[in-house]
Amino acid sequence: MCVTCGCSDNSQVTVTSLENDKTSHSHTHTLADGTIITHTHQHHHSHVHNELNSQNGKTSHSHTHTHSSIKTSEIHARMHGTTVSLEQEILRKNDRIAEQNRHWFQERGILALNLVSSPGAGKTTLLTRTINDLKSQLPISVIEGDQETVNDAEKIRQTGCQVVQINTGTGCHLEAAMVQRGYLELNPPCNSILAIENVGNLVCPALFDLGEKAKVAILSVTEGEDKPIKYPHMFRASQVMILTKIDLLPYVQFDVNRCLEYARQVNPHISIFQVSAITGAGLNDWYEWLQNQRIKV
């Protein structure tokens, strides 16, 4: 559950490997103290079903049945009274798993990047162009995050890249535990790049550490140049900003200099690249940054 925006924690998260068509599901609905509840029934029956695919191809199932009888008024009181502690606990749990992820990546020399943007900024187009241009030099794997569909993962797979799709349901961002499931399914090679394409959202992904080496904020010229000051937490948390679709500048009203000024106002140390994934303009600088960061891992 994301207390910041209210996205539900009882949505089903699905992890799909496009290599072998394996899919696993998880479904939870809990309070901070672990009590499983519902708003619609006093007597609640929760069915948690996890499918874990092992290396030998077998599938194991676990079922948890919990019964509780709680009055609706008590549920509301407890939920309103624990909002702050619930958010803190969610973030603490996420940070613990993020540290596990970070250690896993460091042990294997994997450069993990968290690509964030609003919907339609061009993350997938930039990523597919990057993979196609660099796949003979850099092994790249992808964890693709969306609320629904495997459309973007299919585009990534067409490059020949390994990819896992994570569908968050009503969730508006990826969390460290989802990414952990994703890379364990992918098993990316050592000394490679793992690109994590987050759900399109410039708010909540700023709060959730995934264990990545860097957040890469992607902003297109078809959006407002004031995005960095409208969503300062995201651009402050990012080490890189990529301004995409610069081939469209002659056709849109977008003040590049003002946008860059806003970004540096929020984050004076942010690295900025101006690129077009269609024409290839500016991509060499982005690729050089990737190469240098991979060497540093």
Q: What is the pLDDT of residues 28-41, one digit of tens each?
A: 444 444 433 333 33
Tokens of residue 297, six digits:
């891992």
84: pLDDT confidence band, cut at 50, 70 and 90? low
Selected residue with higher pLDDT from 92 and 89: 92
> Which pLDDT belongs to residue 53?
41
Selected residue with higher pLDDT from 170 and 207: 207
Closest CA to 193 of 224, 221, 220, 214: 214
CA 17 – CA 167 distance, rounded (Å): 11
Does 3 score more than 90 pLDDT?
no
Q: Give the other-Cβ count within 10 Å of 108's Cβ.
A: 16
Does 223 score more than 60 pLDDT?
yes
DSSP-assigned beta bridge partners for residue 117: 218
> Which pLDDT belongs to residue 169?
87
Selected residue with higher pLDDT from 57 and 248: 248
Residues 52, 77: contact at Cβ < 8 Å? Answer: no
Q: Give residue 72's Cα distance to chain centre.
A: 34
244: pLDDT confidence band, cut at 50, 70 and 90? very high
Tokens of residue 275, six digits:
């690129």
Q: Which of 14-18, 48-52, 109-113, 149-153 has the lowest mean pLDDT?
A: 48-52
Mean pLDDT of 125-151: 96
CA 188 – CA 142 distance, rounded (Å): 9
Mean pLDDT of the chain: 83
The pTM for the full model equals 0.76
Q: For a pLDDT cut of 90, what percent of the chain falls above it?
A: 67
Closest CA to 5 of 172, 140, 123: 172
pLDDT tens-digit readout, 265-284? 999 999 999 999 999 999 99
Does 234 score more than 80 pLDDT?
yes
Does 206 score more than 90 pLDDT?
yes
> Which pLDDT belongs to residue 36?
34
Domain with residues 97-296, CATH architecture: 3-Layer(aba) Sandwich (3.40)
Please enumerate in sequence order all residues whose Cβ is within 8 A of that of 27, keeping only pairs 6 or more positions apart, or say none: 10, 11, 12, 13, 47, 48, 49
Q: Which of 59-68, 214-223, 257-266 has the lowest mean pLDDT?
A: 59-68
Is the alpha carbon torsion for 169, 173, 177, 183 positive or negative? positive
> Which pLDDT belongs to residue 11?
57
Mean pLDDT of 2-25: 66
Q: Which of 19-28, 53-62, 215-224 has the lowest mean pLDDT?
A: 53-62
Does 8 score more than 80 pLDDT?
no
> Which pLDDT belongs to residue 82?
54
Q: Can you give the residue ranges of every domain in the chain?
A: 97-296
